[in-house]
Copies of this chain bind each other. A is one copy, B any other.
Amino acid sequence: MSYADAETGSIEVDFGEDGLVPAVAQDADSGEVLMLAYVSPEALARTRETGEAHYYSRSREEIWHKGNTSGHTQSVREVRVDCDADALLYLVDQAGGACHTGHRSCFHRTVDGENVGERVFDPDEVY
């Protein structure tokens, strides 16, 4: 079941076998794709409750409030779901940079190894 609920209109996200869906964070103003991470039902609920992006860290196996350590939070303007309801799009206002390397976006390299991204902070000063 992944279609709009007739009563509430809200969409039931299909979290699949591992209980996670990929979520893309996009800068709501510039359209820049900032990062891709994974979201559990609880991470989505906290995102909607607080208005700040939460993810699920697969390596640490815990909910992750983005920017909790660095201050580089994401204020979420809108959450979208795709046609199969098994992927999310967070439209966000990104404080600082999304990437732990200091870049604005985690997608700051081409597959050929060229750096095409903007560095906006020094990770040694933040972490």
Tell me the A residues contacting B by CB distance below 8 Å: 4-5, 8-11, 13, 22, 24, 26, 30-33, 35-36, 44, 48, 78-84, 87-89, 99-101, 103, 106-114, 116
Contact = CB atoms under 8 A, between A and B. Distances in A.
Contacts of A48: 111
A1 to B, nearest CB: 13
A19 B38 CA distance: 17
A107 B33 CA distance: 14
Contacts of A24: 24, 33, 36
B22 A81 contact: no
Given A31-B30, A33-B33, A36-B24, A82 B111 contact: no
